[in-house]
Each structure stands twice: as C-alpha cells, then as structure tokens.
C-alpha cells in the first residue's frame, strides 16, 4: 500500500485561514503560475525551507480557501508529507500532520505576500527561479 493511500484516510482537505483566502487569489493572479493549488504548494515549501517551527496550539482559523488533499498535492502527496514529517521529526501518520501542513501553507502565504509587497515587479518565473537558485524551493513543484 502506498503511503498516500494511508494518508488520504487521515485527512481529505486543508483550508487556509480566512485572511489568506484573498492572498491566494492575489498571488495566483500576480505570479500566473497556474491554479491556486500551485501557490499553496509554494507557500508550504517556502515556509518549511525557512525553517519555521510552528506550534499546533497557534493554528489559525479555517475560513479560507479549501483544497482537497488530491488537488493540493497532486501526485506528490508522499513528498510533501515527508517534508513536514522530517521537519518536525514525526511520523507521517502523526495525528497533527494536517495541522502542520495547514499552518505552513498559511505561514508561507503571509511570507510570500510580504515579499511581493516589497518587490511588486517580480514575475512568477523570476521568483521561482530565484528561490530554486537559493535552494529554498524544491525542483518539481
């Protein structure tokens, strides 16, 4: 049995915070990299790459954009779960894995929004190329 088949049982969707609902749309339009789930993946990877260790007790509301696990991760669910698991030193079956994912998406969206406010002329391609060069976003997103 693939790991992702087991994980689908644990959670079926992730919702951003209400405050980040608009951020997802704005960044999706600004970067023009495809659908909104791409921005969520980038936000997750960006937050993890910075090394932020978030506390489950500080989780934000879930009134924002909703993603099914399949749409959010595509064929890379195992990869993203592994990144979060390694980051926190937890098993992929940990009961809080979905919360960590949600928190890192929200955290990454806040960070990305601030970066783009500071440098609003950057294109999506320039941003991604720069982050890959810096080793902050894994190739194959």
| CB neighbour class for 69 (10 Å; exposed up to 12, middle 13-18, buried from 19) | buried
CA distances from 68 to 14, 56, 74, 112, 132 (A): 6, 21, 10, 22, 26
32 — pLDDT class (breaks 50, 70, 90): confident
Q: Provide the pLDDT for residue 118.
A: 78
Report pTM. 0.83
How many structural domains are present in the chain?
Answer: 1
Phi and psi at residue 135, to the nearest 5°? 75, 20
Judge whether 133 lies within some domain: no
| Alpha carbons 17 and 134: distance in angstroms, whole number | 28
Judge whether 95 lies within some domain: yes
The domain spanning residue 123 has which CATH number? 1.10.1220.160
Judge whether 8 lies within some domain: yes
Judge whether 38 lies within some domain: yes
The answer to whether the CB of 95 falls within 8 A of the CB of 7 is no
Judge whether 138 lies within some domain: no
| Alpha carbons 113 and 42: distance in angstroms, whole number | 12
Judge whether 18 lies within some domain: yes
Domain membership of residue 49 as a residue range:
3-127
Judge whether 113 lies within some domain: yes
Judge whether 137 lies within some domain: no
Which segments of 8-132 are extended strands (E)? 13-15, 66-68
The answer to whether the CB of 2 falls within 8 A of the CB of 89 is no
Q: pLDDT of 75-128, one tens digit each?
A: 999 999 999 999 999 999 999 999 999 999 999 999 999 888 877 777 777 877
């Amino acid at each position: 049995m693939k790991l992702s088949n087991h994980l689908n049982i644990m959670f079926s969707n992730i919702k951003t915070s209400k405050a980040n609902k608009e951020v997802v749309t704005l960044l999706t339009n600004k970067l023009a990299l495809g659908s909104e789930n791409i921005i969520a993946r980038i936000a997750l990877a960006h937050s993890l790459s910075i090394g932020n260790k978030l506390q489950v007790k500080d989780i934000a509301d879930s009134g924002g954009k909703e993603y099914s696990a399949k749409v959010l991760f595509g064929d890379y669910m195992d990869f993203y779960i592994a990144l979060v698991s390694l980051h926190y030193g937890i098993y992929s079956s940990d009961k809080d894995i979905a919360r960590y994912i949600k928190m890192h998406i929200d955290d990454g969206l806040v960070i990305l929004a601030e970066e783009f406010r500071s440098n609003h002329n950057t294109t999506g391609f320039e941003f991604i190329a720069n982050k890959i060069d810096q080793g902050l976003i894994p190739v194959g997103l």
